[in-house]
């Protein structure tokens, strides 16, 4: 395996992120120490290259700086390199300014405790049942038999998607992000995205006619300055909840299990109560950093980490490096479920901070609680299959044998 150098690493290539974890950790350390703001060239794209920010403080500074940076021309490499996002100005994650604030306030109503409490209760019930079933069977693919069934059902509860449509939505979500197979085509992803949009157009029409206590109803019936949201805003934001809420949480759970298996002493600390589930959740999030990067375009010339970033430049913020910055995290390459403080940026920071953070944390907490209660030991029965992405990190398959707790 060749060494991943700062100059040699292609951060646009999903293959790069298939390197062993310790190689990637070394690569990010090189970025932080040798070139903390690094110009990464690309060819055959709408832009000539992008800046790579790898230090915690620089990542934080750009996340919170809405004066000099915008998400409206994309917020991940895939769209930033193509020059924009077709949902800009309508979908929360790629909207800025007053419209972002207004849309976010509507969305936050949908994440109110009144709406979330029953959803979280469902998460705990589901995680407990799935883990018990897996233990009873003895062997399972933890990704496909357990983790896959929690976030999608949770997001579907939140949105008010009927149970009969959930498998269909899961398939579309995976295709839309096309991360599982190296050879997934861009056309398939586009078709899946369009199907998702049509699906939510229909559901929004139903809920406008007969509102219920769910997110689609909140979006379909809310007004901003007396005006209802447009159909496109409703549809794009349902889509963004599905895309934002399903895969990140699923990968966090799968990687959480993977790391517990790799660190049996930490698992014992969790079982014995030496560490709380809450602090374990934060360490899983820091360690996994399921969304490896986000990004922005500069609106004006601005100095970042001592270099001039010009108006129009693409800047990428690498959570997967910031969360291992030794200036902020003591002994960052040690998986320590009791780590405190643990101010990771797995959910971003600033105006676009993840509105699903409470729910994402609840899902991981529910899983760890179920594992702590029902599983004494887990051993791999085959290789974990990593996903293929320059944006998300995790596994699509994790075969394990589970031994029941006494």
Outline where 35-138 has alpha helix (H): 56-64, 77-80, 97-110, 113-137
Shortest distance, CB of residue 234 to ligand HEM, whole angstroms?
Answer: 13
Shortest distance, CB of residue 160 to ligand HEM, whole angstroms?
Answer: 13
Contact 258, 398 (CB under 8 A): yes
Contact 49, 38 (CB under 8 A): no
Nearer to ligand HEM (CB atom), residue 147 or residue 400: 147
Using Cβ positions, the residue closest to ligand HEM within the complex turns out to be 356
Tokens at residue 199, please? 């699906």
Nearer to ligand HEM (CB atom), residue 119 or residue 131: 119
Residues of 285-313 as b/e, b for ≥16 C-beta within 10 angstroms? Answer: bbbbbbbbbbbbbbbeebebbeeebeeeb
Alpha-carbon span 241 to 252, nearest angstrom: 16
β pairing state of 314-318 and 375-380 = unpaired
Nearer to ligand HEM (CB atom), residue 4 or residue 78: 78
Nearer to ligand HEM (CB atom), residue 36 or residue 394: 394
Going by C-alpha positions, the residue among 153, 321, 159, 128 that lies closest to residue 237 is 159
Nearer to ligand HEM (CB atom), residue 135 or residue 395: 395
Shortest distance, CB of residue 321 to ligand HEM, whole angstroms?
Answer: 14
Q: How many of the other CB atoms lie within 10 Å of CB of 268? A: 14
Shortest distance, CB of residue 377 to ligand HEM, whole angstroms?
Answer: 25
Nearer to ligand HEM (CB atom), residue 4 or residue 115: 115
Shortest distance, CB of residue 3 to ligand HEM, whole angstroms?
Answer: 29
Nearer to ligand HEM (CB atom), residue 135 or residue 289: 289
Alpha-carbon span 321 to 27, nearest angstrom: 9
Shortest distance, CB of residue 164 to ligand HEM, whole angstroms?
Answer: 21
The residue ranges that bind ligand HEM (CB under 6 A) are 63, 71, 75, 92-93, 104, 155, 158, 240-241, 244-245, 248-249, 252, 290-291, 294, 346-348, 352, 354-356, 359-360
Q: Which residues contact 73 (CB under 8 A, 6 or more apart)?
A: 79, 80, 83, 84, 85, 88, 297
Shortest distance, CB of residue 379 to ligand HEM, whole angstroms?
Answer: 26
Alpha-carbon span 238 to 245, nearest angstrom: 10
3-class DSSP assignment, residue 189 = helix
Q: How many of the other CB atoms lie within 10 Å of CB of 183? A: 7
Shortest distance, CB of residue 364 to ligand HEM, whole angstroms?
Answer: 7
Burial environment of residue 102 by CB neighbours within 10 A (0 to 12, 13 to 18, 19 or more) = middle
Nearer to ligand HEM (CB atom), residue 332 or residue 360: 360
């Amino acid at each position: 395996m060749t060494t991943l150098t700062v100059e040699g690493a292609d951060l646009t290539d999903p293959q790069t992120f298939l390197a062993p974890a310790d190689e990637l950790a070394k690569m990010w350390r090189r970025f932080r120490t040798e070139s903390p703001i690094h110009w990464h060239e690309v060819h055959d794209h709408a832009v000539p290259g992008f800046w790579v920010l790898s230090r915690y403080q620089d990542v934080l500074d750009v996340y919170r700086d809405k004066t000099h940076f915008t998400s409206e021309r994309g917020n991940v490499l895939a769209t930033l390199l193509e020059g924009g996002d077709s949902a800009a100005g309508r979908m929360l994650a790629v909207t800025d300014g007053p419209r972002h604030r207004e849309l976010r306030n509507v969305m936050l109503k949908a994440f109110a405790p009144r709406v979330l409490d029953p959803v979280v209760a469902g998460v705990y019930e589901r995680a407990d049942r799935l883990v018990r079933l897996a233990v009873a069977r003895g062997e399972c693919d933890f990704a496909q038999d357990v983790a896959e069934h929690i976030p999608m059902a949770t997001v579907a509860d939140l949105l008010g998607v009927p149970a009969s449509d959930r498998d269909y939505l899961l398939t579309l979500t995976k295709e839309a992000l096309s991360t599982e197979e190296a050879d997934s085509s861009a056309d398939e992803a586009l078709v899946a995205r369009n199907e998702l949009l049509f699906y939510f157009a229909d559901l929004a029409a139903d809920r406008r006619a007969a509102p219920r206590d769910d997110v689609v109803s909140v979006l379909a019936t809310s007004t901003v300055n007396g005006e209802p949201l447009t159909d496109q805003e409703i549809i794009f934001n349902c889509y963004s909840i599905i895309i934002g809420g399903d895969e990140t949480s699923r990968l966090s759970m799968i990687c959480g299990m993977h790391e517990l298996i790799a660190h049996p002493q930490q698992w014992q600390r969790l079982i014995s109560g030496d560490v709380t589930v809450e602090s374990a959740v934060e360490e899983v999030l820091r360690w996994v950093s399921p969304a490896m990067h986000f990004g922005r375009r500069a609106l004006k010339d601005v100095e970042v980490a001592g270099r001039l970033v010009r108006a129009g430049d693409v800047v990428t913020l690498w959570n997967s490096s910031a969360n291992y910055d030794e200036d902020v995290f003591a002994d960052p390459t040690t998986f320590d479920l009791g780590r405190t403080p643990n101010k990771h940026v797995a959910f971003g920071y600033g105006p676009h901070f993840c509105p699903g953070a409470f729910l994402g944390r609840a899902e991981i907490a529910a899983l760890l609680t179920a594992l702590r209660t029902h599983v004494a030991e887990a051993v791999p029965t085959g290789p974990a299959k990593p996903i293929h992405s320059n944006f998300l990190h995790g596994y699509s398959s994790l075969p394990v044998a589970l031994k029941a707790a006494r």
